[in-house]
Chain A
């Protein structure tokens, strides 16, 4: 009998949660923390082990687990899990960030039992989303990940936590509902009716050229925009991003890390897992909208970040900025361009863009995760995040300054750090599809440099503000949480091949499949 690795990994934290719930909230505080850490670590180990049985040369879904869940008068729902080169990096990211967050969260003293229990549940939800291959299951996990985050923000958050938590919850729920409608649309269009993601993709429901008046135009459009809303709110794509800064600012440090590091990826993951393969026609038809919104996220996000005085808000807007690159790559992977021009290189460009987008998801997770940890470090000590109140901390906290600068430079795309590789791939790929838009997006790189350098200046440079002579440098727990992320930034920045080849196999397969379903070179030609 083979061990169901994916289920094991996904539900280990649930076991941890149950154990935590059985412990006494006052007497077993350290035991609760220990159990959470152990189960997060176990889940992490299983996810790391996945790389061994996983065949990175195979673009198909692997390590599949499929069983009938329920069959209510023909309404068949399967328990279907599986991974490919798209989900594996994200799973690894999830377990890694959760483990680091739990370690970091040892410093939480308020209602530890609930906190850790919610964290475990959150991990279950996130891992489930990345593994699930049945829409019903996918939706369940999607919602499961929502609830614990709502409580993490609402209970352990900052002063405006209620507003932020409700806003986060309702906004995302609206998106979820839109997604639910889209799922139903897919279900009722499919023949035979199915919720299975792989099955739905293979049915090629909307094959052939797509445009106004073709068969199923309305259903496909509805499904596409339903998914779009669900995913775009999660990403978040401009103009659906305003829940993000509020949620981030109010969330506890570890909550921000998971929110930015993993939850946002669920949106972009949805685009690549669902929108592109299932609805390539509508995706191509409407890609120009995604490009425009991605471009807006990049430029607008960067400029708004520049104007922030709250450190955490700045990093939050930088996420809008950086997730814009992911969406640019996603749109370029399917976007239409000038007909019959640059045929052979066009497919390379699409694959490059999509590889870059997926790698950027991973990189943004580790970089922004690290940045949010680092914001927590300074907030715990200074009890303020006002950039203008700092100054000269490089002298007071040299290790902190070094790590923060490394993460910032990774985020602004300095070569040999991971952000560069993915941004580079997104740009070179997207440029093959959208020249003007990509050129404008590259402009965002300048603004990114501006706001990060300005941030560094305001926190670390200049004479030391007398107020902060008591601040101590990073402690052991904080270093344990951030140093592995820094190591990953450097490793992927220098030698992205292990990860990139893994992603490339899956993404090449996806682009190839899409070009089988529709002709990828036709339609809008104005931005060629």
Chain B
């Protein structure tokens, strides 16, 4: 299966092509069964991805296949795909989650006018995402990266009649472009030193010190800017909550499970570039602005995790709660990666588990919204537990996983990240900041998820729509159940009690060895180094985080379920923070008011400059020629070179008259003037050139003046 991994992106792509070109015709023939074409495209990838995973688990060597994309000078630029454990777990995650979501969509999108188009876009997204995962070179990862952005744009704006939808789509694409500006520059910096596209070759060169450490650090930081955009990290996180304007399955697939995790995946994929400057200079402080690139990743991740969790607490739209929670969890993953090789596996593991339970939560929220007749405000819900029992149970499973309650999936992955920060804290005090910050975020996560669940499912219905809620059809609930199974049990593969942490042994980071033969650098180095050191399971950390999660859930239950504590007890003392959180810390206002308006204003000023100044000069010269030179030339024409020029004038006059629609006269004047000028200039030039050899020795003094 490893050799066939290249097929995986093509299967959904084929489904997409069928749906784009024959979608409407097919829909007329077979109705909404057309959606199953999309499902078939992505479901067919599961055997391949699981096959790859199993083969690698059984000890097969990772594959890395390249083909020539083009030549530059004598160099071949190679592109291709690679499947190593990291890629394999991503592949498996993407294909399973995407299949569940596409099945669910058949129910969710029922009756939509552009039903087939939705599946075409989803399939295209899957193809691009799989390409991104399989890429072994900068062109393809950047390509997949931008293409998933395109799909995100198309799908957020799927209901493009809605103003909020298309504005959100545009915002998402442009915000991502801002991040990609950094990503592209990072690639440029690396290419500057190593004109290769293949990761392995670049890593090998980096390990051989062919790239100055400072510039490697700068490249890492710039690449991370791409991840900041794609993974909605501070300060480019504002597009993700708005992206919830898209249909809910899109939110689940793209804006929670897979695409937004691509930033984390990219950092993991290019970990060498992030890790080497750090490793070479010792933790924690490297050279870039006094801070190593990995620590930058951590700082941004931590700020994101906390900030988004705080905003999440005050949201009332169920999808926005989940969106902020996604941002926060992505911050978690970034902090995990920032902990170096021991955190690498933790970050990746959290990526995988999060994908399952966050997809579950979003689909659950979709089911809730569906049940409540398109109502999204949790304050207008309530009492759904009885009316939508499957949704209720599975949503709670996802919530407990997200909150990190033992033995749900989130517990193990989150705990590993915390354990990594705890482990590093022993080496340097600065990591206590990460540990405490993340524990706080864990508390907040549990709190807002508890709040969301209690308000939605418990108590009495607070609106007509909620009162008339109904459970969703099986095509929607079955995917929920499947994902819930993963949300409950997946964590165990990363627990110390299953194969001594199976995930750890499978996916780990090994730095490339200097002088490694390129191409096989990946696999060989990984094999030689064995597993990275593990932070290990710590009962202390586990108990603290469990305590935090229980406290968060408990507090939310006390406020929203049991009504023991009035909200004001919390809100009043923290009012400034509450106020700031309600306004999402004013990021949108600043961007909209300063940057967007500034650029539009600048554009309009430049347009004015262009028409009135740049073009004005041209017209002025034209006028000058017409009035000045043409008069003079007319004079000379008439009295000196009458015959010759008149002949030309007459000829051009004939040409001018030919286009009889055109007014004549002016053209004649212009042309005769120009022809004359040309002849005069040519003559002058000829004389000058003849004279130059004689003049040149005497012109040297000018050079002396300018101090040549």
Contacts and interface: CB of A to CB of B under 8 A. Distances in A.
A155 B659 contact: yes
A244 B173 CA distance: 30
A500 to B, nearest CB: 4
A155 B75 CA distance: 50
A508 B73 contact: yes
Contacts of B63: none
Given A213-B703, A306-B599, A443-B181, A462 B187 contact: no
Interface stretch (A23-31, A94-102, A181-189, A286-294): A181-189
A454 B157 CA distance: 13
A457 B180 CA distance: 22
B contact face: mostly helix, strand, loop, or mixed: helix
Interface string B667-696: 100110010011001100110011010001
Nearest to B74: A508
B606 interface: yes
A504 B69 CA distance: 12
Nearest to A344: B195
A414 B699 CA distance: 53
Contacts of B677: 177
Interface stretch (A73-81, A195-203, A270-278, A426-434): A426-434
A60 interface: no
Contact of A306 (B68, B603, B685): B603
Contact of B177 (A308, A445, A454, A501): A445
A174 interface: yes
Contact of A416 (B143, B173, B178, B682): B143
Contacts of B563: none
Interface in A492-528: 495-497, 500-501, 504, 508, 511
Contact of B708 (A211, A222, A435): A211
Interface string B145-179: 11100100100010011010011001001100110
Interface string A66-84: 0000000000000000000
A181 B177 CA distance: 45
B661 interface: yes
Nearest to A239: B614
Given A181-B681, A188-B689, A218-B692, A212 B703 contact: yes
A219 B659 contact: no
B686 A184 contact: yes
B569 interface: no
B539 interface: no
Contacts of A1: none
A446 B149 CA distance: 14
Given A151-B659, A300-B606, A303-B606, A345 B195 contact: yes
A180 B708 contact: no
A153 to B, nearest CB: 10
Interface string B191-222: 11111000000000000000000000000000
Nearest to A215: B696
Contact of B70 (A171, A392, A504): A504
Contacts of A242: 610, 614-615, 618
Nearest to A150: B659
Contacts of A415: 139, 142-147
Contacts of B599: 303, 306, 447, 450
Interface residues of B, number: 78
A138 interface: no
B614 A348 contact: no
A162 interface: yes
Contacts of B615: 242
Interface string B61-86: 00000001111111100000000000
Contacts of A508: 73-74
A185 B71 contact: no
B516 interface: no
Interface residues on A, range: 35 or more
B72 A167 contact: no
Contacts of B150: 409, 414
B607 A213 contact: no
A488 to B, nearest CB: 16
Given A154-B661, A348-B73, A500-B71, A307 B143 contact: no
A188 B170 contact: no
A180 B678 contact: yes
A339 to B, nearest CB: 17
Given A155-B662, A303-B606, A184 B682 contact: yes
Given A439-B185, A497-B70, A170 B622 contact: yes
Interface string A117-134: 000000000000000000
B192 A435 contact: yes
Contacts of A162: 662-663
Given A180-B682, A431-B188, A497-B69, A212 B706 contact: yes
Contact of A442 (B184, B606, B607): B184
A445 B179 CA distance: 12
Nearest to B706: A212
A219 B161 CA distance: 62
Contact of B670 (A155, A166, A392, A409): A166
Contacts of B700: 213
A428 B187 contact: yes
A462 B163 contact: yes
A79 B467 CA distance: 88
Contact of B662 (A165, A217, A447, A496): A165
B689 A347 contact: no
Nearest to A309: B607
Contacts of B666: 166
Interface string A276-312: 0000000000000000000000001001101110000
Interface in A428-467: 428, 431-432, 435, 438-439, 442-443, 445-447, 449-450, 453-454, 457, 460-464
A348 B667 CA distance: 49
A39 interface: no
Nearest to A495: B69
B70 A500 contact: yes
Contacts of A361: none
A503 to B, nearest CB: 9
A424 interface: yes
A218 B599 CA distance: 43
B600 interface: yes
A219 B686 CA distance: 11
A457 B696 contact: no
Contacts of B636: none
A174 B670 CA distance: 11
Given A306-B600, A307-B607, A416-B147, A185 B689 contact: yes
Given A242-B615, A415-B142, A352 B662 contact: no
30 contacts: A162-B663, A170-B674, A177-B677, A181-B685, A303-B606, A304-B603, A306-B599, A306-B600, A307-B600, A308-B607, A345-B194, A348-B72, A348-B75, A351-B72, A351-B73, A352-B195, A394-B160, A415-B147, A420-B146, A425-B72, A432-B192, A438-B188, A445-B181, A445-B184, A447-B599, A461-B160, A463-B161, A496-B70, A497-B70, A508-B74
Q: Which 3 A-B pairs have the closest CB atoms?
A: A415-B143, A213-B703, A500-B70
Interface of B: 68-75, 139, 142-147, 150, 153, 157, 160-161, 163, 166-167, 170, 173-174, 177-178, 180-181, 184-185, 187-189, 191-195, 599-600, 602-604, 606-607, 610, 614-615, 617-618, 622, 659, 661-663, 666-667, 670-671, 674, 677-678, 681-682, 685-686, 689-690, 692, 696, 699-700, 702-703, 706, 708
Given A218-B692, A457-B166, A463-B161, 4 more contacts: A184-B682, A352-B195, A461-B157, A461-B161
